[in-house]
Amino acid sequence: MIRALIFLLALALPAKAEDLVAGLSQNRIAISSSFDGSEILIFGAVKRQAPIPEGQLGMIVTVEGPQRPLTVRRKDKQAIIWVNSAAVEIDHAPSFYAVNTSGPLDDVLSNTSDLRHRITVRQAIRSVGAPMDVQDASAFTDALVRIRERQELYQLNIGAVEVSDQTLFKTRVELPANLVEGDYTSRIFLTREGAVVAEYAATIDVAKVGLERFLYTLAHENALIYGLMSLAIAIAAGWGASAMFRYLQS
């Protein structure tokens, strides 16, 4: 009996035939004053102890920004004006989410794998409870994805992962200029017939540096000094311009 169970388990969990090794062109992205978006190159290879197994190979690379709760609101016409009425709280929504695949999504990823590993953007967004009066909560999530796709914060790049000889792969992820600070995660999935067979993860640290860092920290930790400094700059600039014009006129 026990032997049979072990045998079954061994069948269900075969020794890993394929594994992933990968690298990122940068593990740290510095947001300086001149930051205008960035590009990460993600590359690697499939490591095998045995000959190439059967089944169509697929490769998916995701990059995910920090999660932040948010509220999606919908406008409705009341009397003659358009007013925000219904609202749905979204508990988890990544501030950035890119999915690069080696081929059409249906071919490289099965629904079960998507659910288990939360790969597509719809799986990455979690909305726990919509209020009772909102019937169509999924329309709000759709709207969130639509708006963020337009801002290039959510991307689905079909065929953006180049795979050569079923072994080497590389892809590029464009990070837009309106990036939020925090830890970004990059995940790489190797699939066979849509099922995930190997997984690799790495973090990318996105942080403000230099003047940006200094101002951000000051604004949050010494708010009064920051506020007074802003006012001093304003007064000085106002006086400076006035003095300059007087000098120019005389």
Partner 1 sequence: MQIYLPIAEVSVNAFLLLGLGGLVGVLSGMFGVGGGFLMTPLLFFIGIPPAVAVATEANQIVASSFSAVLAHLRRKTVDLRMGTVLLVGGLIGSALGVWVFNILRSMGQVDLLVKLSYVIFLGAIGGLMFIESLNTIRNTRKGKAPKRKHHTWIHALPFKMKFRTSGLYISVIPPALVGVFVGVLSAIMGVGGGFIMVPAMIYLLGMPTKVVVGTSLFQIIFVTAFTTLLHATTNYTVDMILAVLLLVGGVVGAQVGARIGVYLKAEQLRILLAVMVLLVCGKLALDLLIEPAELYSIGTAGH
- What residues numbered 3-32 form the site for partner 1, per CB under 8 A? 31-32
Closer Cβ to partner 1, 8 or 241, answer by number = 241
Stretch in the footprint of partner 1 (CB under 8 A) among 101-109, 129-137, 189-197, 207-215: 207-215
Question: How far, CA to CA in Å, does 158 sit from each of 28, 120, 192, 215?
Answer: 26, 12, 17, 39
Compute the half-sphere exposure of residue 152: CA atoms within 13 Å on the CB side of its CA.
9
Would you count residue 140 as binding partner 1 (CB under 8 A)? yes
Would you count residue 233 as binding partner 1 (CB under 8 A)? yes
Which residues contact residue 54 at a Cβ distance below 8 angstroms, ignoring those fewer than 6 apart? 192
CA atoms of 185 and 205, how far apart (whole Å):
9
- What residues numbered 84-103 form the site for partner 1, per CB under 8 A? 84, 89-90
Q: Cβ(100)–Cβ(161) under 8 Å?
A: yes
Would you count residue 75 as binding partner 1 (CB under 8 A)? yes
Measured from the CB of residue 75, what is the shortest distance to partner 1 in angstroms? 5
Closer Cβ to partner 1, 8 or 211, answer by number = 211
Angle between helices 223-249 and 210-221 (to 10 degrees): 120
Measured from the CB of residue 124, what is the shortest distance to partner 1 in angstroms? 15
**Phi–psi pair at 21, nearest 5 degrees:** -125, 135
Would you count residue 80 as binding partner 1 (CB under 8 A)? yes
Would you count residue 77 as binding partner 1 (CB under 8 A)? yes
Cα 168 from chain centroid? 24
Stretch in the footprint of partner 1 (CB under 8 A) among 3-11, 44-52, 125-133, 208-216: 208-216
Measured from the Cβ of residue 49, the count of other Cβ atoms closer than 10 Å reads: 9
Residues that bind partner 1 (CB under 8 A): 31-37, 68-77, 80-84, 89-90, 140, 143-144, 146-148, 177-181, 208, 211-213, 215-216, 219-220, 223-224, 226-231, 233-235, 237-242, 244-246
